[in-house]
Each structure stands twice: as C-alpha cells, then as structure tokens.
Amino acid sequence: MNKLIFKRFFSIHSVKRPIVLGIETSCDDTAIAIVSADKKVLNSKVFVNRIDQQRIGGISPALSAMQHRMFIDNLIEDCLDEISCRLADLDAIAVTSCPGLVICLKVGLERAISLSRISKVPLIQVHHMRAHALSSRLIDDSVEYPFLSLLISGGHCLLVLVKNPSEFDIIGIDSTTSPGECLDKVAREIGLKSKDRHLGAEVERLARLSDDDGCLRFSIKPPSTSGADFHFASIKNSFLNLIQQGKLDKLSQKDTVDLCASLQFQVTSHLCRKLHLAFEYLQSKDILQSQSKTLVLSGGVAANKFIFKAIEKLTNFYNYKLIVPPGRLCTDNAEMIAWTGIEMMEENPNVAIPWTSLPSSIYAHDRYPIGTSILRDEIHASKFKPTRKLKLQSLLQDQIYFTGKPLQ
Ligand code: KG4
Ligand code: ZN
C-alpha cells in the first residue's frame, strides 16, 4: 500500500504528469488538492465548519455554499503557492459536478471554469461517488479493474461493479436514504453532539462502551427489499419510532450506549445481508470469479471499525480482498477528485474539455446515476435469493456462519 506522501517530499518537477488540481464542494467540505499521475499528493487543503452545522441540526446548503464562496480562493492560492506551482504548471482542473447540493456544486464549477480559462488548461467533470470508489486506487496499487465497491456515505448507499474509470454497473442501491443519514438522524434525536467529528463517529464511540450483547437490546424489524437493494429509511424510522413513542423517554447512559450499539448493529446487519446476497449472485453467475476479487469500501461510514470488521468476515469467507482508504480519504476530499480526473484523462483524453471550448456554465446535478443498472435488473428479474441464510449474530463472533445449503 502506498503511503500518501505530501509536498515536503515532492516538487512539481520530480513527479509524473499529468498534474491535476481537484476541487470538491458537493456538500459541506471545501476541499482542494494537487495530485500527480504517480500517485503523489503534492498538497491538499480542507475547510469544514461542523460546529455551526451541528448547532443548526444538519447541513444547511446555503451556509455551506457561503463557506465555499468565502474560502475557496484562498485555499486554491495556498495549495498552489506552498509548492511553488503556477496555474499554468497544471495539466488539468478536475471538479465535482454531480451528485451533491446544487448551490454548493455551482461554487466549485464556477471557480473551475474561471481557473481553466485563466490558466488555459482543460477541465474535467467528476462524479463524486465514482471518485469515492476510485480513491482506493490512489493508495493501493493492487486494486485492479474490475472490482466491487460498496459506497456508504451521508448521501448514498451503492453497491457497484467498477469496470473502468467511467464504466460502473449498479448491483444494489438505496433509493430512500443512506446509512450515514440514518445514523445522523437517530443520533440527533437522542441528543448526541460533537464539536469536531461526524455524528456517525460519535455513535461508534458510544457503541464501543456498550456490553457485548448491548447491541441486541433494541431490536427492530429488519428492512425487506428485493435483490441487493438497501432501505435505510426503514431502520431510521424504526429507531425514531422507538424513541418518539416514549418508550425511551429519559435515556440513561446505559440506554444511550446500548441504543447506539443496537443502531450500529442493525445498519451493519443490513449491509452484510445485502452484500451476502450479491456475493452469492456473482458466484452463481461466475462474475469476477476467475481473477483476484476485491471489494473497496468507501464513503464516510466506511470509517466505522465495527462495520469494517463485520464486512471483513464476509469478504474473508467469499475470498475477496477488502480495501478501505484511510479515514481522510473515506470522507469527502479533493484528492479523490484530482485522482479520478487523472484516471479519466489517461483512459480517454477527450473527457478533458479544452479551455477554448468551455461553456459559460456547466450544469450541476443533485442526483446523477453512477452508471448502468444491468446486474441490479438481472437480480430483480430472477428474484434471486441465496440458498443459505447468514446468521446475523455470527457477525459478532470470530467466524460467520450460515443456515441452509451452499450454492453448488
Ligand atoms: O462521505 P461523507 O464524508 O459525505 C457524504 O458525501 O455524505 O460521509 C459523511 C457521513 C456522515 O453521515 C457521518 O455521520 C458518517 O459519514 N460517518 C460515520 C463515521 N464517520 C463519518 N458513520 C459511522 N461511523 C463513523 N466512524
Ligand atoms: Zn462523499
């Protein structure tokens, strides 16, 4: 695994081109990074104000867009100046254009267009969720196409087959909400607060204080969806109902930690059940079976160690190598945007829009499919069900086990 090595060790003259500046403003992080084709992060800057977002009870698009407008120019200037890089030294500017909060995306896109014109370098539009999946290749040379990726963030839950930098096929998706939003909403409902970290991370911290079986104390009806699709709204609503129906009126410290552990366990179980179905389906169709199999776990929720350990048991069982980028690359960052720009450009130079052909504005999309939905449609059409059932409680033990017979 490559270590991310920063500007103190590299100058723009000693790295492999292309050198790309990445801009990420799809949500509440204002992030800038400069990355080279030989996977060197030359510099990166992030600004985020979680304290104000926590105080108002969630992410405000208007407040985030204002933050992007206030800080983006200085962050770009510092990022370039600190490594003595001029705009004209860049080979391209990569910017997130979808999916995300439209007024936030617009700030990044406007800056990218004007920088591209000033510096006369091309512009590349990057899909935020594709970048989460590809960030694994920035830190690990062993991740080769095709690979599977489970993207679990505050905005999305997607299980995809990644064929190349711009070809993705959906296996399972959550069309209701995401594991991050489910954790954040329930955490807010029970009054959790954190100055400098995500509420999901606070749930994880408190869950660790619970007894071994605390995670089984608050049980809910597990979501029922077809195929490998997810339904985190169901888990969120079940927990909100438990809390709001007065059953958990005054939470003691033990109630709080057990509730966090139970919520985390239900989120993990749902992810593992669907992953299990997908692994069995791919095996039954002989997809990915001939090469070394890799599952990349990314997005903010992938920073959760409990979820990681449970998924690791499944990947070990099905012989997949499990790769999780380090924490700061799992949450929103601009390194992944710059790197995805490099991969896209190397695969097809035409994706880079020459500065002379740039339109006056580029459309920002709040939702945009990550790719095709061929495998997902096949799974739905065949009504595929695994023959053996994963025993969810075994996710808490050293070894997972199943009931029923394995596929032949
Ligand atoms: O990928 P990300 O930074 O932003 C989006 O694109 O959504 O993900 C943020 C989400 C939040 O919902 C946050 O609560 C969750 O990731 N998160 C975690 C952890 N760290 C961040 N969830 C569970 N455990 C964590 N350690
Ligand atoms: Zn994200």
Position 237 pLDDT exceeds 60: yes
* Mean predicted lDDT score pLDDT of the chain: 93
3-state SS class at 2: coil
Q: Do 272 and 392 contact (CB within 8 A), yes or no?
A: yes
What pLDDT, on a 0 to 100 scale, did the predictor assign at position 5? 45
311-352 confidence digits (pLDDT tens): 999 999 999 999 999 988 999 999 999 999 999 999 999 999
pLDDT of 180-221, one tens digit each?
999 999 999 999 988 778 899 999 999 999 999 999 999 999
Tokens read off for 79: 């990022």
Of the candidate ranges 7-11, 24-28, 386-390, the one whose mean pLDDT is the lowest: 7-11
Listed residue (74, 80, 76) closest to 11, CA to CA:
80
pLDDT score, position 372:
98
Ligand 1: lining residues by beta carbon, under 6 Å? 27, 153-155, 180, 183-184, 198-201, 204, 299-301, 303-304, 331-332
Ligand 1 atom with least separation from CA of 26: 6
| Top-confidence residue, 236 or 403 | 236
* pLDDT value of position 26: 97
Cα(179)–Cα(324) distance, integer angstroms: 17
- The residue nearest atom 23 of ligand 1, judged by CA position, is 200
Residues 109-143 have pLDDT tens digits of 999 999 999 999 999 999 999 999 999 999 999 99
Closest residue to atom 25 of ligand 1, CA basis: 201
Chain centre distance of CA 307: 14
Query: Nearest 10 degrees: CA dihedral of 236, 240, 242, 244?
Result: -170
Rounded Cα distance between 183 and 198, Å, is 10
Residue 202: nearest ligand to its CA?
Answer: 1
Q: Is the whole-model pTM more than 0.85? A: yes
Structure tokens at 100: 């995300």
Residues with CB under 5 A from ligand 2 (ion): 153, 332
Which one of the ligands is nearest to 308 CA?
Answer: 1
pLDDT value of position 244:
86
Ligand 2: centre distance to CA 356 (Å) = 31
Residue 6 has pLDDT above 80, yes or no: no
Band (pLDDT 50/70/90 cuts) for residue 9 is low
Residues 167 and 154 sit within 8 Å (Cβ to Cβ): no
Using the atom order of ligand 1, give the atom closest to the CA of residue 298: 1
Please give the pLDDT value at position 255.
Answer: 94
| Residue 406: per-residue pLDDT | 73
Which tokens is 280 given?
């069995």
Q: How confident is the model at residue 380 (pLDDT cuts 50, 70, 90)?
A: very high
Mean pLDDT on 170-177:
97
- Those residues with Cβ within 8 angstroms of residue 106's Cβ, 6 or more apart along the chain or in another chain: 65, 364
What are the residues whose beta carbons fall under 8 Å from the beta carbon of 145, sequence distance 6 or more? 162, 163, 164
Q: How confident is the model over 146-157, as a mean pLDDT?
A: 96
Pairing of strands 157-164, 92-98: unpaired
pLDDT in tens, 345-373: 999 999 999 999 999 999 999 999 999 99
| Token pair listed for 346 | 């190397």
Ligand 1 center to 193 CA (angstroms): 14
Nearest bound ligand to CA 179?
1
Ligand 1 centroid vs 300 CA: distance in angstroms?
3
CA of 82 to the centre of ligand 2 (A): 26
Ligand 1 center from residue 127 Cα (angstroms): 18
- Mean pLDDT value of segment 78-99: 97
Which residue type, as a one-letter code, is found at position 103?
I
Ligand 2 centre to CA of 1 (Å) is 22
pLDDT of the residue at 7:
46
- 79 contacts 23 by C-beta, under 8 angstroms: no
Instruction: Give 223's DSSP letter.
Output: P
Nearest atom in ligand 1 to 184's CA: 14
Contact 12, 83 (CB under 8 A): yes
Q: According to the model, what pLDDT value does residue 405 have?
A: 77
Q: By percentage, how much of the chain surpasses pLDDT 70?
A: 96
How remote is the CA of residue 330 from the centroid of ligand 1, in Å? 8
Assess contact for 380 and 226: CB atoms under 8 A: yes
What is the structure's pLDDT at 248?
A: 58
Residue bearing the CA closest to ligand 1, atom 20:
201
Q: Is the pLDDT of residue 408 over 80?
A: no
Residue 10 CB neighbour total at 10 angstroms: 18
Q: Which two tokens stand for residue 186?
A: 């329930």
